[in-house]
Amino acid sequence: MTRVIHTGDTHIGYQQYHSPARRQDFLAAFEQVVEDACSDDVDAVIHAGDLYHDRRPELPDLLGTLAALRKLDDAGIPFLAIVGNHESTRGGQWLDLFERLGLATRLGSSPHVVGDVAFYGLDHVPRSRRDELDYQFDAHDQTHAVLVGHGLFTPFVHGDWETETVLSESNVAFDAMLLGDNHVPDVAEVGDTWVTYCGSTERASASERDPRGYNLVEFSETIDIRRRTLETRPFEFISVELAGDEGIERVRQRVREFDLTEAVAIIELTGEGETVTSAAVETFATEQGALVARVTDRRELDLDAPVATDVSFADPDDAVRERVREMGLSTAALDVEETIRASKVADSNVREEVKTRLAERIDDDLSAFTTAESPQAGDGDGKADADDGDEVADPDETTEVSDADEADNEKVAAVADAVANGGTDGEAIREDDSDVNSDAETETDAESNENSSLGDFA
């Protein structure tokens, strides 16, 4: 019998909500998986990609990873892994460094045997290059064969990579596919093959509400896939429905019902009620002990009504969103703006993602490049003045708030300027990513769905 831990989508280095504590959490989740692997004495830890949140982890992230991998190595537990879309670079992968140090094995088309199982790897491959794949693998002589892959595979929701195609074109008959990319854990049987996602180990987005964890997979006569949950940072999801005359007091009352100590508080306002600024709610939640608080105001606001001109720098994203909405940009321009500022696309992957999205638009829908006919408001100069935004929530806002890095606010101003001035060379946009031209092609279709509240994967 061979027993392994199947984990993935660790996203080490993700400074979610700009919080250094959150960055620590992603590493801590990986450390916990390693602890469990050691105390359980499993035969291997299988990592299905996205160990890192982006392709440029910082030194503390790398040192933390090395310490964890060394611990596994000391316990004699091999770490077998592939490369995910978030961390992929054109040159060598971080995983190659760990392999060189003797702390990891990068899985590929040759079998790596643990117990009586032959493990193979299939790194993330952008959709545009999948037709070139031949799914040819070296032969093995083991009882079981497993393919470790990263991508959105069918039959799971949002799947764009046909599992049937992979299995039928492969010259190796796989008993199981251990997958990463979709952050929602799941299991299905495709023909005679078990196909499973282990899910992410920390909440990489507020849409990941269920407890996080990993898979414990046992290979004997049969294949047994079990899920184990991890202790992660508490998230409190607080929904407040406001009646006509209710405002900040009602929100405070509701927030007090929760123990927010060291928690991430995700607060959603619905119904009607008075103007409530996100900043006031976030400040209150933080005073109640929350590590981080984020507010999404889903109320239909009357845009003609006079609005309190209460400028909040606690959430400049709100101000930027509002100004961008007023500019009457084309769908394509909004798409670019959203990719750069609001989506969860890692900074270092933004350029490639924008290119992919624009290419798709050019192929499918040229009308997306037409400027919207009647901007809803605006002061006429067409420029995004991020500093004069009123505190108004965008009723269309469906994403979780403010995953963007600090740099994103600068970038959106640059984009807004470029678009408003008819400039398309985007020099200012590329400024802080100047070496990106030489970086890998990474398609991150997954993240693009985030704003249609499908953000369960990345």
Catalytic center residues: 86
- Smallest distance, Mn ion to C-beta of residue 353, A: 14
State how far the Cα of 35 lies from the Cα of 5, in Å rounded to an integer: 11
Of 17 and 197, the one with the shorter C-beta distance to Mn ion is 197
Please choose, out of 67-75, 230-238, 401-409, 450-458, the segment that lies near Mn ion by the rule CB under 5 A.
450-458
Please choose, out of 3-11, 110-118, 152-160, 361-369, the segment that lies near Mn ion by the rule CB under 5 A.
3-11
Edge-first strand listing for the sheet containing 264-271: 235-242, 264-271, 292-297
Using CB under 5 A, pick the residue from 9, 36, 315, 352 that binds Mn ion: 9
* Annotated binding residue 150: yes
State how far the Cα of 319 lies from the Cα of 390, in Å rounded to an integer: 6
Closest CA to 12 of 266, 227, 201, 172: 201
**Is residue 177 a contact partner of residue 196, using CB atoms and an 8 Å limit?**
yes
SS (H, E, C) 360-382: HHHHHCHHHHCCCCCCCCCCCCC
**Is residue 161 a contact partner of residue 153, using CB atoms and an 8 Å limit?**
yes
The site that binds Mn ion (CB under 5 A) totals a number of residues, namely 3
State how far the Cα of 213 lies from the Cα of 215, in Å rounded to an integer: 7
- Smallest distance, Mn ion to C-beta of residue 7, A: 12
Please choose, out of 47-55, 147-155, 166-174, 205-213, the segment that lies near Mn ion by the rule CB under 5 A.
47-55
Please choose, out of 24-32, 43-51, 342-350, 361-369, the segment that lies near Mn ion by the rule CB under 5 A.
43-51
Using CB under 5 A, pick the residue from 117, 125, 419, 458 that binds Mn ion: 458
Closest CA to 144 of 205, 90, 223, 80: 223
* Annotated binding residue 85: yes
**DSSP tag of 243:** P
- Smallest distance, Mn ion to C-beta of residue 346, A: 10
Strands (E), 43-152: 44-47, 79-81, 105-106, 112-114, 117-122, 144-151
* Annotated binding residue 11: yes
State how far the Cα of 142 lies from the Cα of 145, in Å rounded to an integer: 7
Site string for Mn ion, 49-78 (x = CB under 5 A): -x----------------------------
* Annotated binding residue 53: no
- Smallest distance, Mn ion to C-beta of residue 84, A: 6
Site for Mn ion contains 447 (CB under 5 A): no
Residue ranges of the binding site for Mn(2+): 9, 11, 50, 85, 150, 183
Residue ranges of the binding site: 9, 11, 50, 85, 150, 183
Residues that bind Mn ion (CB under 5 A): 9, 50, 458
